[in-house]
Chains A and B, each alone.
Chain A
Amino acid sequence: DTEVTQTPKHLVMGMTNKKSLKCEQHMGHRAMYWYKQKAKKPPELMFVYSYEKLSINESVPSRFSPECPNSSLLNLHLHALQPEDSALYLCASSPQFPSTNEKLFFGSGTQLSVL
C-alpha cells in the first residue's frame, strides 16, 4: 500500500463550524505533514509530525489544530475559519523526519471552501 488517503475530498463549512480533516497511511512512515495549497500556487507547509510528536508548526493560526493519534493517522481540526482559509489541504508522509530520504508521498487532498 503506497497510498496516503485523505477524507473528505471536498468540504464546505461556515465560519462558525467545527470540522476535521483526516489522513491515513499504512506505509510505516513515521513523519506526516499538513500542507495548504492555494490555486496555482505551490504547497505551503503547515505542520510536521515526527514519531507522533509535533516537530514543526509554521506559525499557523490556532484555528487550525493538528492531532496525530498514532503513527498512521493525522487529523486537522478546524474551528472558526475565515474565507481566506479556503484552499486544498494536502496531507503527506515520509519515512522519517529529518531524514536522508525525503521522498514525500502526498494524499489527494481535501478541497475546503469556507463560506
Chain B
Amino acid sequence: GENVEQHPSTLSVQEGDSAVIKCTYSDSASNYFPWYKQELGKRPQLIIDIRSNVGEKKDQRIAVTLNKTAKHFSLHITETQPEDSAVYFCAASIETGANNLFFGTGTRLTVIP
C-alpha cells in the first residue's frame, strides 16, 4: 500500500518568513495530493490540493509543488502569520479503486510573532 512520509515534524518560523513542508509517497499510482490544516482542538480543513497532471498550484500565500518523478510534493507558505500556526497534514490518494487517503504524520508549524 501507499506510504506517505512528512518532514519536518515540527517547524518554527518568524512571522513574515516562509515555511516549507515536504512529503514523499511510495505508490507511483497516487495522483491526488491534498493538504490539511488542523488547529488545536479543531477539524482538519482542506487548504490546497494538487493533481498529478499539474506541477504547481498557488492560492494567495499558499502553494504546492509536485515532482512525480521523485514522488515528492511540498507545501509552501509565504509571509507567515501567527494564525498559520497549526498542524499540517499531507495526504496521497489514488483515484481508481479504493481511493483511501493516506495521511502523512503531520508537521506542527509555529509562527513566532
**A-B interaction:** yes
Give 10 pairs: A residue, B residue, CB < 8 Å, sorted on A. Answer: A40-B108, A42-B105, A42-B106, A43-B44, A90-B44, A98-B99, A99-B95, A102-B93, A104-B46, A106-B36
Verify A108–B43 contact, CB threshold 8 A. yes
Asked whether any CB of chain A lies closer than 8 Å to the CB of B52, the reply is no
For the complex, give the distance between the alpha carbons of A96 and B107 in Å: 29
Which residues on A sit within 8 Å (CB–CB) of B93?
Answer: 102
Q: A55–B104 Cα gap in the complex (Å)? A: 23
Contact partner, A41, options B36, B96, B105, Cβ 8 Å: B105
How many A residues touch the partner, as a band? Answer: 20 to 34
- Residues in chain B within 8 A of chain A (CB atoms): 32, 34, 36, 42-46, 49, 87, 89, 93, 95-101, 103-106, 108
A-B contact sample (19 more), CB < 8 A, given A103-B49, A109-B43: A4-B43, A40-B106, A42-B104, A42-B105, A43-B44, A43-B103, A48-B100, A55-B98, A56-B98, A98-B96, A98-B98, A100-B95, A102-B32, A102-B99, A103-B34, A105-B46, A106-B43, A106-B45, A108-B42
Residues of A with C-beta under 8 A to B108: 40
Residues of A participating in the B interface, judged by any CB pair closer than 8 Å: 4, 40-43, 45, 48, 55-56, 90, 97-100, 102-109
Instruction: Please judge, given known A-B contacts A98-B98, A102-B95, whether A42 and B43 are in contact too, CB under 8 Å.
Output: no
Complex CA gap A49/B93 in Å reads 17
Residues of A within 8 A of B95 (CB): 98-100, 102
- Which of A42, A98, A104, A107 has the largest number of chain B CB atoms within 10 A? A42
Query: Nearest chain A CB to B7's CB is how many angstroms away?
Result: 14
Q: How far is the CA of A43 from the CA of B99 in the complex (A)?
A: 15
Q: Please, which residues of chain A bring their CB within 8 A of the CB of B103?
A: 42-43
Instruction: Evaluate contact between B100 and A45: CB separation under 8 angstroms.
Output: yes
Q: In the bound complex, how far is the Cα of B34 from the Cα of A106, in angstroms?
A: 13
- On whether the beta carbons of B96 and A106 are closer than 8 Å, the reply is no
CB <8 Å contact, B100 and A56? yes
Q: Smallest CB–CB gap between A105 and chain B, Å?
A: 8
Query: Which residues from chain B contact A4 at a C-beta distance below 8 Å?
Result: 43
